[in-house]
Amino acid sequence: DIQMTQSPSSLSASVGDRVTITCRASQSISSYLNWYQQKPGKAPKLLIYAASSLQSGVPSRFSGSGSGTDFTLTISSLQPEDFATYYCQQSYSTPPLFTFGPGTKVDIK
Amino acid sequence: EVQLVESGGGLVQPGGSLRLSCAASGFTFSSYWMSWVRQAPGKGLEWVANIKQDGSEKYYVDSVKGRFTISRDNAKNSLYLQMNSLRAEDTAVYYCAREVYYYDSSGYGQGGAFDIWGQGTMVTVSS
């Protein structure tokens, strides 16, 4: 089974900061990596698919990169509405099975 | 409006059963793989099960195999999760989610993602 890890598990940042979150897969998953944002009490929201493609309607301050085993989600200038928990998720497995990372909580410094 | 609405959650004793439903609207339900994803209180997301458009393929996370059954009724635009032999560790918010598969300009698959989620329904397993 493919395992996903994320770092850091939490971070504190200020509005306007550049924030980077890392996700690592236990084996190569090519670019089959997605990123989600979840706010308390709400369902997750898809931000990035296929490692670097921005989901429709998502602000351009969000970007993704990476391939193989190492991936990054970057928020170029943190906004108040971006304080949330972020999850990576792999979709490489066949048949279609999915694994999420443990999450990274971004809160206010 | 594209929407998923879950129902059927509640409090159940260990060993009991519960059936969750998810009503889809605003899109052609029969054209999509569908999944259930859960989140235990204060914990991360865990994919539980999914089902192909025509119901011919179903897959489960190991921890629920033999206990949970996913199904769908395309005529009713509905997704279901039958949960039997429930355990305390099944306590979670259960989300239904639409799977979408992406392809690049060459037609090469880029994997799947969950692009539409319901609001979730809480399942509590406790005596």
Whole-number Å distance between alpha carbons of B96 and B119: 8
In the prediction, which pLDDT does A45 show?
Answer: 98
Kindly state the percentage of chain B with pLDDT values over 70: 100
Whole-number Å distance between alpha carbons of B96 and B94: 7
pLDDT over 80 at A94, yes or no: no
pLDDT over 80 at A95, yes or no: no
Instruction: Name the one residue in this structure whose structure tokens are 């305390």.
Output: B88
**Is the Cβ pair B44, A102 closer than 8 Å?**
yes
Instruction: Give ∠ CA B69-B89-B39 in degrees, rounded to 5.
Output: 75
Least CB-CB distance to A43: which of B50, B99, B120? B120
pLDDT over 80 at A101, yes or no: yes
Q: What is the pLDDT of residues B61-117, one digit of tens each?
A: 999 999 999 999 999 999 999 999 999 999 999 999 999 998 888 888 878 999 999
Tell me the chain B residues in contact with residue A103 when contact means C-beta distances shorter than 8 Å: 44-45
The answer to whether the CB of B91 falls within 8 A of the CB of B83 is no
Q: How far is A80 from chain B (nearest CA, A)?
A: 22
In the prediction, which pLDDT does B110 show?
Answer: 78
Other C-beta atoms lying within 10 Å of the C-beta of residue B40? 13
Chain A, 65 to 84: residues with Cβ < 8 Å from chain B are none
In the prediction, which pLDDT does A81 show?
Answer: 95
pLDDT over 90 at A96, yes or no: no
Closest alpha carbon within chain A to B47: A98
